[in-house]
Amino acid sequence: MAYQKIDHSNMTELHNIKTGRYRISVTSGKTENEENTNNAQLALESITSVVDEIDELLGIKKLVNKRGKSLILKRIDRMIALYNRRDAEAGIELAALGLFGKQLRDLKTRHIQAFRSLSKDILRQSHQRSWVGIRAEVSIAACLLEVIGIGFTKRERPDFDFDYQNKKLSIEVTSTHLTTDRGTNCVYKIKAKINSKNTMPYAKNDVALAIDITNIFHHYFSDTQGQEKNFTDELDRQLTGLEIKYGALILIIHSDNKLLNRYQMNSMTRVMSNCNSVLKSFIEEAFPKSSEVLADPVFLSES
């Protein structure tokens, strides 16, 4: 990969110019040894590889020319800034964007309708809060592609329709988050989101409600007393007695798995007593199960 090297009095910058208006730059201080400079070049190549993928899928020029900075470019810029501060979170952000790109690539290759619908939504987003919702929709689309192939449709409200055992089912995707750290006192936000979504006309027993709770998990585990069993116990306590009009809940968590050295989506599901029998079969028999316990999970600070 060609790159430009520019020496300054206090740093070395390595550049890869994607377009006339967008440049990837990583720095390596002059006081660092040759090994660290080589590491900076490897980092530039890794970052460029992810950006190349996003460029092919969405078009960097479209993202650059968007009025206000696009959401995806903000994530890329954040990743580069983290690396240039030598923040360990840079690697997690890189892996998160890498997974995002891979999922979009699979959708473009195998399910063009879903890809076009999702990419259109991605291109019009600019606010940071939109990242979690977009990431969740792409992950659910990737899950459906894995378990039922191309037999689903990306739409609006609910987000996905699909056929399973000759029955039309749906999944609505949403997310919930905290703006201030509440430690382990945060599970109530999931209950509040369910109550809000219960008011929608599509809240029925043949629809699953998928909620990205990554931010809630992040806050919960920021308290060193936070344990996954305690979380699930508190979640079940919050759900007890709650009228849930949806047939099932899919709770999504995106995190870095340090043991397997990868960024991944995990999920936990809850089937309601009123759940449509076919949706119940889909959740219990087809929807991907998370096999790894989230022991000591690592989250992005902007989850």
Per-residue pLDDT of 244-261, as tens digits, reads 999 999 999 988 877 777
- Name the residue with higher pLDDT: 180 or 113: 113
Asked if residue 286 has pLDDT above 50, the reply is yes
- How many domains is the chain built from? 2
The mean pLDDT value of the chain amounts to 82
Question: 48 and 148: one domain?
Answer: no
pLDDT in tens, 201-228: 999 999 999 999 988 887 777 665 656 6
Average pLDDT over residues 42-59: 87
- Name the residue with higher pLDDT: 84 or 271: 271
Question: 217 and 149: one domain?
Answer: yes
Q: Is residue 119 part of a domain?
A: no
- Which residues make Cβ contacts (< 8 Å) with residue 112, sequence separation at least 6? none
pLDDT for the residue numbered 167: 96
Tell me the range of 19-28, 54-63, 88-97, 207-216 where mean pLDDT is highest. 207-216
pLDDT for the residue numbered 32: 54
pLDDT for the residue numbered 292: 45
pLDDT for the residue numbered 10: 39
Range of the domain at 96: 1-110
Entry pTM: 0.86
pLDDT for the residue numbered 11: 42
Question: 160 and 272: one domain?
Answer: yes
Please report which residue ranges of 149-281 form alpha helices under DSSP H. 188-197, 214-222, 228-239, 277-281
How large a percentage of the chain has pLDDT more than 70? 79
pLDDT for the residue numbered 139: 96
What's the token pair of residue 211? 């909620």
Domain ends where: 51, 81, 110? 110
How large a percentage of the chain has pLDDT more than 90? 40
Question: 184 and 152: one domain?
Answer: yes
Question: Residue 66 belongs to what H/E stretch?
Answer: none
Confidence of residue 40 (pLDDT cuts 50, 70, 90): confident
Question: 272 and 155: one domain?
Answer: yes
Question: 106 and 140: one domain?
Answer: no
pLDDT for the residue numbered 1: 32
Asked if residue 288 has pLDDT above 90, the reply is no
Average pLDDT over residues 229-240: 84
The strand pairing partners of 98, in sequence order, are none
Question: 171 and 302: one domain?
Answer: yes
Categorise residue 214: left if φ over 0, alpha if ψ from -120 to 50, beta otherwise.
alpha
Confidence of residue 43 (pLDDT cuts 50, 70, 90): confident
- Which residues make Cβ contacts (< 8 Å) with residue 218, sequence separation at least 6? 299, 300, 301, 303
Q: Which amino acid is at 62?
A: K
What's the token pair of residue 198? 């219960």
pLDDT for the residue numbered 212: 94
Question: 162 and 274: one domain?
Answer: yes
What's the token pair of residue 151? 């037999």
Q: Is residue 118 part of a domain?
A: no
**What is the C-alpha to C-alpha distance for residues 44 and 219, in angstroms, rounded to an integer?**
31
Question: 25 and 140: one domain?
Answer: no
Q: Which amino acid is at 230?
A: N
Confidence of residue 299 (pLDDT cuts 50, 70, 90): low
Question: 55 and 185: one domain?
Answer: no
Of the candidate ranges 87-96, 275-284, 290-299, the one whose mean pLDDT is the lowest = 290-299
Question: 141 and 289: one domain?
Answer: yes
